[in-house]
């Protein structure tokens, strides 16, 4: 009788805790795979990152020596990757979209989208949009506005010159 009670207790405890361990392990393995993919892209572009940051499914890094920025956002199975030569950047600005919602006592602004818009010197190159946050994504807001401000100031540090017919932002 005691052995049967012990077996049932072990099965019950395992049925409660095993799903938590499985979910925790699967989430960490997904992040590891994304980080590994980012490191592979860094190696493929011969970059040596002096500064990097990641949150959720977004990775960004800077190679100060080559003056290049790499940005990767994993959407579904395909990563969106941008490698930007900062010596060819004319402007960088934050583009955000917010909705104002009225509650019982006050009005609140809710961030819907947050992008870093990078404009190249050459007019034939389109703007590059780095999406830092999208409310429709799978991750919640996690200080993305502060991150966007930080990376904007880093990028602006590489914009030194006013180009003929162009205005530095």
pLDDT in tens, 59-103: 999 999 999 999 999 887 788 899 999 888 888 999 988 888 888
User: Is the model more confident about 6 or about 23?
Assistant: 6
Looking at residue 139, its pLDDT comes to 66
CB-based contacts of 63: which residues, under 8 Å, 6+ apart? 47, 48, 49, 50, 69, 70
56 pLDDT more than 70: yes
Most confident of 2-6, 81-85, 101-105, 122-126: 81-85
Specify whether the CB–CB gap between 135 and 154 falls below 8 A. Answer: no
Which structure tokens are listed for 137? 């994504």
pLDDT, mean of residues 11-31: 69
29 band by pLDDT with thresholds 50, 70 and 90: low
Report the SS3 class of residue 161. coil
Q: Classify residue 161 by burial, with Cβ atoms within 10 Å: 0-12, 13-18, 19+.
A: exposed
162 band by pLDDT with thresholds 50, 70 and 90: very low
133 pLDDT more than 50: yes
The C-alpha angle 53, 121, 61, rounded to 5 degrees, equals 10
What's the whole-number average pLDDT of the chain? 82
106 band by pLDDT with thresholds 50, 70 and 90: confident
Could you tell me the pTM of the whole model? 0.73
């Amino acid at each position: 009788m005691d052995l049967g009670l012990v077996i049932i207790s072990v099965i019950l405890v395992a049925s409660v805790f095993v799903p938590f361990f499985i979910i925790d392990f699967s989430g960490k393995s997904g992040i590891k795979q994304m980080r590994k993919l980012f490191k592979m892209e860094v190696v493929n572009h011969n970059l040596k990152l002096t500064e990097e940051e990641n949150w959720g499914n977004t990775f960004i890094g800077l190679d100060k020596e080559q003056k290049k920025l790499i940005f990767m956002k994993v959407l579904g199975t395909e990563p969106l990757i941008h490698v930007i030569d900062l010596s060819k950047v004319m402007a960088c600005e934050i583009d955000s979209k917010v909705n104002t919602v009225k509650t019982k006592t006050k009005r609140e602004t809710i961030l819907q989208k947050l992008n870093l818009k990078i404009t190249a010197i050459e007019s034939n190159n389109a703007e590059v949009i780095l999406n830092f946050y999208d409310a429709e994504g799978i991750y919640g807001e996690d200080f993305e506005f502060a991150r966007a401000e930080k990376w904007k100031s880093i990028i602006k540090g590489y914009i030194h010159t006013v180009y003929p017919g162009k205005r530095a932002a």
